Amino acid sequence: MFVDRLIEKIKDRGNPSVLGLDPRMELIPPCVRDGLGNSEEDLGTAVFRFNRALIDAVVDVVPAVKLQIAFYEAMGIEGLKAYRRTIEYARGNGLLAIGDVKRGDISSTARAYKQAHLDGPFACDAVTLNPFMGYDALEPFIKACEEEGKGVFILVKTSNPSSGELQNLVTENEYLYIKLARKVAGWGRGAVGRYGYSSVGAVVGATYPKELAALRKEMPGTFFLVPGYGAQGGGGKEVVNAFNPDGLGAVVNSSRAIMGAYLKDGKGEGVTLEEFKDSARREAIRMRQDIMKELKEI
Active site residues: 102
Q: Whole-angstrom Cα distance, residue 70 to residue 21?
A: 11
3-class secondary structure per residue, 138-200: CHHHHHHHHHHCCEEEEEEECCCCCCHHHHCCEECCEEHHHHHHHHHHHHCHHHECCCCCEEE
- Looking at residue 124, the DSSP 8-state letter turns out to be -
Of the candidates 292, 236, 7, the residue with the CA atom closest to the CA atom of residue 126? 7
Residue type, 247: G
Q: Whole-angstrom Cα distance, residue 250 to residue 247?
A: 9
| Rounded to 5°, angle at Cα 176 from 172 and 177 | 140
Residues 261, 27 contacting (CB under 8 angstroms) = no
Helices in the chain by DSSP H: which ranges?
2-13, 40-58, 70-73, 77-92, 107-114, 139-148, 164-167, 176-187, 209-218, 236-239, 256-259, 261-264, 273-295
Q: Whole-angstrom Cα distance, residue 68 to residue 99?
A: 6
The CB-side HSE value for 285 (13 A sphere, CA atoms) comes to 10
